[in-house]
Structure 1
Amino acid sequence: MSGDLTENQMELLARVLQHGGTLASPFGHPGEDSLLEEVLENIDDLEARGLIMVNRTRGSDEPERITLSEQGYDALGMA
């Protein structure tokens, strides 16, 4: 599965792994980080593929915490 992920998506999965399997926001620097929108798109895509689980801020679509799923660990070769 990792073969069809972009380099940025693999980096995001690896960053979550580096934080013990759970990464809390912020995931970028709003207003200053031109990649923030891309990071949010990657989060949505990885969630749709079942590689991460996303806790969202109450009353918002903004991700608050992302956690690697079993499939996410597999994509990183950590099976």
Structure 2
Amino acid sequence: MSGDLTEHQMELLARVLQHGGALSSPFGHPGEDSLLEAVLEDIDTLEARGLLSVDRTRDSDEPERIALTQEGYDALGMV
């Protein structure tokens, strides 16, 4: 499964793993050169594929906390 993930998606999964399997907001750096929009797209994609679970802020679609699912650990080879 990990073979069809982009390099950025694999980096995001690895970053969550480095933080003990869960990562809280903010997920990017604000500003003109921010990659935040791309990170949010990757979070949505990985959530749709079942690799991340996402807690969203109340009354918003913005992710507040992301965590690896078992499938996310498997994609990283952490069986």
Query: Per the shorter chain, which TM-score range?
Result: over 0.9
Q: Distance in 1 between matches of 2:22 and 2:32?
A: 24
Give the share of equivalent positions with the same residue, in percent: 81
Q: Which runs of 5 or more structure 2 residues have no equivalent in the other structure?
A: none
User: RMSD of the alignment, in Å?
Assistant: 0.9
Map of 2:23 onto structure 1: 23
Map of 1:72 onto structure 2: 72
Residue 57 (str. 1) matches residue 57 (str. 2) = yes
**TM-score after normalising by structure 1:** 0.96
Q: Which runs of 5 or more structure 1 residues have no equivalent in the other structure?
A: none
Runs of 4+ in 1 over 4 A off after TM superposition: none
Map of 1:4 onto structure 2: 4
**TM-score after normalising by structure 2:** 0.96
